[in-house]
């Protein structure tokens, strides 16, 4: 999820305190705590673009909605169609391109947020393309069914070259992939993904096992992160700021916060964020001192088995 998700700026402690100090009670009152989405717009992925602009993808249509977090006002950037899917998102400030995981369509999509037009489609042909993170030289897409990460090459300006390679998670390292036995109930493995500030490692959550891994961005070698006895079952979207990692646990109706060790080999559990406004959050991103999470409402609307057209959805602001 762009800079706050993958390329967190390392600030001296004093600078960070001063910058967050600008977000006083008046700021909080001017930013709504919940932001309604258009009726039937079934959200999953969210990423922050320029300033307070957020982009949200729809599981029900593949549409992309852009919204101002200050006012709650929004408009449709990309109009999809019933049955199309948009899952995880990431924004690249260099190109102002939006990268979208295509779910069961097995593809990655890239849109120009200036025009809303498609830039390129990347037909990986995978099982369920779930999330994406953009780094300096590539966009990485997770596959929740097959033990793969798809690495799509980018130019220095953040423009996709059209080529990609497959990084295999299984067969070396610590990754364990639980196979799908029922096509109507696919087993979700790799889900959320972020990259460390220096782009030296990826961090991926295994949804069904509740484990976190660092992944080599060149080889796919996965190493389990020691969580000190904790686990993150139902881990969906990830958010990384500095050494603080947030794990959205959808059906647990909350967000776990960890502090990562200097080499990312271990993590210390800090807190579990929840609130009355949560309705099965799927993913989140950071803006200012807040997390913004999409309420996917998976308890009343299940992917591939639900018509969300009459349902109400929203984005919720989460105080840390």
Share of the chain above pLDDT 70, in %: 91
Between 271 and 2, the higher pLDDT residue: 271
Per-residue model confidence (pLDDT) at position 6: 40
- Judged against a pLDDT cut of 60, whether residue 245 lies above it is answered with yes
- Over 80: is that where the pLDDT of 2 sits? no
Per-residue pLDDT tens digits for 212-224: 999 999 999 999 9
Segment 103-115, tens digit of pLDDT: 999 999 999 999 9
Alpha-carbon distances of 73 from 1, 111, 288, 293, rounded to whole Å: 21, 21, 18, 17
Residue with tokens 């990423």: 47
Distance CA 165, CA 216 (A): 14
Spatial distance between the Cα atoms of 135 and 201, rounded to a whole number of angstroms: 10
> Domain segments of the chain: what residues?
2-319
Could you give the maximum distance between any two Cα atoms of the chain, in Å?
Answer: 53
Q: Tokens 């200050």 — which residue?
A: 70
pTM: 0.92
Nearest to 113 by CA among 92, 84, 87, 136: 92
Sheet strand arrangement including 118-122? 89-92, 97-101, 108-112, 118-122
pLDDT digit string, tens, across residues 297-311: 999 998 878 899 999
- Write the pLDDT tens digit of every residue in 22-70: 455 446 668 999 999 999 999 999 999 999 999 999 999 999 999 999 9
Read out DSSP for 207-257?
TTTTEEEEE-TTT--EEE-B-TT---TTEEEEEEETTEEEEEETTTTEEEE
**Start-end of H helices in 54-193:** none
Closest to 139 (Cα-Cα) out of 184, 109, 96:
109
CA distance 227 to 244: 13
Please tell me the distance from the alpha carbon of residue 60 to that of residue 309, in angstroms, as a whole number. 8
* Domain 2-319 CATH superfamily: TolB, C-terminal domain (2.120.10.30)
């Amino acid at each position: 999820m762009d800079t706050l998700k993958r390329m967190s700026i390392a600030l001296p402690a004093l600078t960070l305190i001063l910058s967050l100090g600008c977000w006083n009670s008046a700021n909080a009152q001017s930013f709504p705590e919940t932001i309604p989405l258009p009726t039937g717009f079934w959200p999953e992925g969210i990423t922050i673009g320029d300033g307070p602009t957020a982009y949200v993808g729809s599981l029900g249509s593949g549409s992309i909605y852009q919204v101002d977090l200050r006012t709650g006002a929004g408009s449709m950037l990309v109009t999809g169609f019933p049955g199309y899917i948009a899952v995880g998102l990431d924004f690249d400030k260099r190109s102002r391109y939006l990268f979208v995981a295509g779910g069961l369509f097995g593809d990655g999509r890239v849109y120009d947020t200036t025009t809303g037009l498609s830039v390129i489609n990347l037909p990986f042909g995978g099982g369920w393309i779930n999330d994406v993170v953009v780094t300096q030289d590539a966009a990485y897409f997770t596959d929740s069914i097959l033990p793969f990460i798809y690495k799509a090459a980018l130019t220095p300006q953040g423009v996709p070259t059209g080529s990609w390679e497959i990084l295999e998670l299984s067969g070396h390292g610590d990754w364990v992939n639980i196979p799908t036995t029922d096509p109507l109930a696919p087993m979700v493995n790799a889900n959320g993904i972020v990259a460390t500030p220096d782009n030296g490692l990826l961090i991926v959550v295994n949804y069904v096992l509740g484990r976190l891994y660092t992944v080599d961005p060149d080889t796919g070698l996965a190493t389990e992160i020691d969580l000190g006895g904790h686990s993150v079952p139902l881990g969906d979207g990830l958010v990384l700021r500095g050494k603080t990692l947030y794990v959205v646990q959808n059906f647990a109706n909350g967000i776990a916060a960890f502090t990562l060790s200097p080499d990312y080999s271990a993590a210390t559990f800090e807190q579990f964020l929840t609130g009355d406004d949560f309705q099965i959050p799927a993913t989140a991103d950071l803006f200012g001192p807040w997390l913004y999470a999409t309420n996917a409402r998976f308890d009343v609307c299940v992917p591939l088995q639900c018509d969300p057209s009459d349902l109400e959805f929203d984005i919720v602001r989460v105080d840390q």
